[in-house]
Structure 1
Amino acid sequence: MEDCSLPQDSLFLGFDCSTQSLKATVLDAYLNIIISELVNYDSELPHYNTKGGVFRDQIVNGRIVSPTLMWVEALDLILHRLEMSNLNFGKIAAVSGSAQQHGSVYWKNGSFEILSSLDPKKPLVDQFLDAFSIEKSPIWMDCSTTEQCKAIEIAVGGGLELAKLTGSRAHERYVGPQIRKIFETRPEIYQNTERVSLVSSFMASLLIGGYACIDQTDGAGMNLMDIEHRTWSKIALEATAPGLEEKLGKLAPAYAVAGSIASYYVERYHFNKKCVVVQWSGDNPNSLAGEFLVFSSFS
């Protein structure tokens, strides 16, 4: 049987992709913090012109978004800083992360080819300039989908029925109503979208060089998942937009491995090709999990 134990000097890299910043923390096998870096979007990526990491639409009431490409460039910058701090990427055994919940990313048709064939000689941001069908991602602060929330609840038989099915009534910030709004108001954009990611699965996708699954805990906050069976709800999907299940991909348990680190990072930063990327999740479920995190869990 193959020995699955890790070297004692193994390191573990965790990210926190929040509304205002991207943070990276490197731990050793004893949960000691080895390195920590942070990129503030407003001050360190000022060309995106965000305030608090977001845009507040002055025309569409309640529309609040963040530039999708900003998160990509933040990953470039923070990896460069880790490199400059003399981090030995080759010792990193696993990578995972937490991300703001309810934000969504819309990959343009053909973007998988970009994602799966990254050039290690170029920064990520230069390679994703034309990868997104919507350049600014709706986030958790957005409250512009009231009409879509009402329509979804009516379609499934009322707010109580939706809550029984998905765990909650329709909420403006949830991704289901956001997708319905895009389908209704910008159908050509919806048709030109091959994959919809949450911010968590988006960041994991960047790391594995392919589309990462949405994890079940983050997926539970979309008004789309059957909360009892942990699968996409056919009823909720049909109430939201046609052909949506294919665009969402499969769900995965939060503890699952999303994939191995992409060759881009092996060649550019000298990660070990055996380094795994564990499913990212949302900040709220990760915070809850952290409440129960003790060293004995790892011994």
Structure 2
Amino acid sequence: MAAEQGTTSHVYLGFDFSTQQLKVLAIDGNLDVVHQDNVQFDTELPEFRTQGGVHIHSDRLTVTSPVLMWVKALDLLLEKMRGAGFDFSRVRALSGSGQQHGSVYWKRGASETLSRLDPNQDLFHQLQNSYSVSDSPVWMDSSSKQQCQDLQAAAGGALRLSEITGSRAYERFTGNQISKVRQTRPEQYQETERISLVSSFAASLFLGLYAAIDYSDGSGMNLLDIRTRNWSEICLEATAPHLARLLGDPLPSTSVLGSVSSYFVDRYGFSESCRVVAFTGDNPASLAGMRLQPGDIAVSLGTSDTVFLWVQQPCPALEGHVFCNPVDWQAYMALLCFKNGSLTRERIRNQCAGGSWEAFSAALTNTVLGNNGNIGFYFDTMEITPPAIGIHRFDKDDNEVSSLSPEAEVRALVEGQFLSRRLHAERLGYSIIPGTRVLATGGASCNKEILQVLSDVFGAPVYTMDLSNSACLGSAYRALHGLVTESGGSFFDVVKHAPEPQLVVRPHPTAAQVYDKMLKRYGQLEETVLQWTHS
């Protein structure tokens, strides 16, 4: 292992087939980034007429991406790398990620085509007729409401489905999309010999044969039993007959699937011994890129706030998602999304702090921890977690009030957002343990006063890190990890020399006694707000 870390002649590639672009990043044995490149779908492949990498259909619910756009993007990316003088013979292993929940339908005979690719021609021309469905449903699609209802009914309800698969039925999840394709396009479905996720589709291109779906990305399908890590018979039967045959057996995310196909050896000069490690979803790959450890929580403070958790014992719920962990097959990761993030913070800044972040920060500094018992819920748009809407403020006696002072309003917003993040994280199985870190990223992570409240509410130190390429970087780390897994090396052995996140703030000494009580109150008041929303 020590020799591996010091071997700079070898490189490891991480690809990310995301919504708007295809990216690649190469690291050497010391984990230093030695090459990066990308292809933007809209501008560099205009013939596919995508906007933001997708086609939004006339019903506004159906959202797809052309499979051949992803294929052509890979051709273009590898040509760019060759043009830049990249030496493919140095690549010892590669892995990658794909936007979660997208599905690819391979046509009968495609496996034969994949296994006999001509190195004198690009992939795009050779795979023209390899897909029974030319436009893939992707994560932005919300047209499978009926299929979700049917799946939940078959599983015994939304909570039972969540206990099996880690999530209640979601319209973007692959099982529901497969069910919709089978029902609305039966001829194309009959022509399908294999169904891939975007991640396993991309891995298949490099292998020259169908790649297995990995446990972690497979957890985002409403089809995988997250505890047995096999397909759920109940869910398969509710989705489509003989579906197990079309999906293949799922495999651990650390699996080495084989060597790169002779096509890439002959066309680009890859080594015959270059290994392909299972590709996974972009969210699991980001967890690897962030190098999350047991007890850690990552909070992305963007337009939406996203929370990633490392969980040992999962407690699936009606909100949020539990996936198999991509770097430790015995553990889990959880994911929560909150729609009212930065835009709500900006609205309160404009309303209560004269549009100034400095004044907003000063309001946080000038108010006490716990805000004298005032608690606020700020759901400008219908929230995902929990499904509630409206602005609700409560005083220390839990009476609803119509307004707070500007400074108290600022603190009520920020405390309320982070109490919500912690409450729902704990409901999914998260617990603060010695050594727990909060890793903050996204636009608001540059505001130290906001991060101080985050640290106080979670009772843990807050670190920041650059996550602009976390899925790509995580994929490159996973390529290296896949090689050492067979000899017993852990992911943390592999990444121990990577740059450390930066410590920004520690919790106030009295924070735990303030927020442990406040969290309980917040949970009770949230139930009240939910009842108001749905009454």
TM-score, normalised via structure 1 length: 0.95
CA root-mean-square deviation: 1.5
What is residue 297 of structure 1 aligned with on the other side? Answer: 494
The one-letter code sitting in structure 2 at the alignment partner of 1:212 is A
What is residue 178 of structure 2 aligned with on the other side? Answer: 179
Q: Does the 8 Å contact 2:8/2:30 carry over to 1?
A: no
Give me the whole-angstrom Cα distance separating, in 1, the residues matched to 2:196 and 2:204: 9
Q: Does 1:47 align with 2:34?
A: no
Give me the whole-angstrom Cα distance separating, in 1, the residues matched to 2:34 and 2:87: 11
How far the C-alpha of 1:297 sits from its partner, in A, is 2.9
What is residue 271 of structure 2 aligned with on the other side? Answer: 272
How far the C-alpha of 1:160 sits from its partner, in A, is 1.6
Give me the whole-angstrom Cα distance separating, in 1, the residues matched to 2:29 and 2:492: 10
Q: Does 1:286 align with 2:285?
A: yes
Alignment of 1:1-299 (within 5 A): 8-58=8-58, 60-292=59-291, 297-298=494-495
How far the C-alpha of 1:61 sits from its partner, in A, is 3.9
3-state SS in 1 of match to 2:89: helix
How far the C-alpha of 1:155 sits from its partner, in A, is 1.4
Q: Does the 8 Å contact 2:4/2:29 carry over to 1?
A: no
Moved more, 106-115 or 182-191: 182-191
Give me the whole-angstrom Cα distance separating, in 2, the residues matched to 1:143 and 1:43: 26
3-state SS in 2 of match to 1:200: helix
Show structure 1 runs of 5+ residues with no match.
Answer: none
3-state SS in 2 of match to 1:140: coil
Give me the whole-angstrom Cα distance separating, in 1, the residues matched to 2:67 and 2:101: 14
Q: Does the 8 Å contact 1:30/1:295 carry over to 2?
A: no
Summarize deviations over 1:208-254 as a string: whole Å, max 9, x none: 00000000000001000011100001110001000100000010111
| Moved segments of 4+, more than 6 Å | none
Show structure 2 runs of 5+ residues with no match.
Answer: 293-490, 497-535
Give me the whole-angstrom Cα distance separating, in 1, the residues matched to 2:138 and 2:54: 9
> Structure 1 residues 298, 161: closer, same or farther in 2, change over 3 A?
closer
How far the C-alpha of 1:162 sits from its partner, in A, is 1.0
Q: Does the 8 Å contact 1:98/1:280 carry over to 2?
A: yes
> Structure 1 residues 295, 218: closer, same or farther in 2, change over 3 A?
closer
Query: Bigger radius of gyration, 1 or 2?
Result: 2
Give me the whole-angstrom Cα distance separating, in 2, the residues matched to 1:152 and 1:33: 44
How far the C-alpha of 1:28 sits from its partner, in A, is 1.0
3-state SS in 1 of match to 2:162: helix
Give me the whole-angstrom Cα distance separating, in 2, the residues matched to 1:183 and 1:259: 31
| Alignment length (residue pairs) | 295
3-state SS in 2 of match to 1:24: strand
Give me the whole-angstrom Cα distance separating, in 2, the residues matched to 1:231 and 1:78: 35
Moved more, 31-40 or 169-178: 31-40
The answer to which structure, 1 or 2, has the higher relative contact order (CA under 8 A, 6+ apart) is 1
Q: Does the 8 Å contact 1:31/1:295 carry over to 2?
A: no
Give me the whole-angstrom Cα distance separating, in 2, the residues matched to 1:105 and 1:257: 22
3-state SS in 2 of match to 1:25: strand
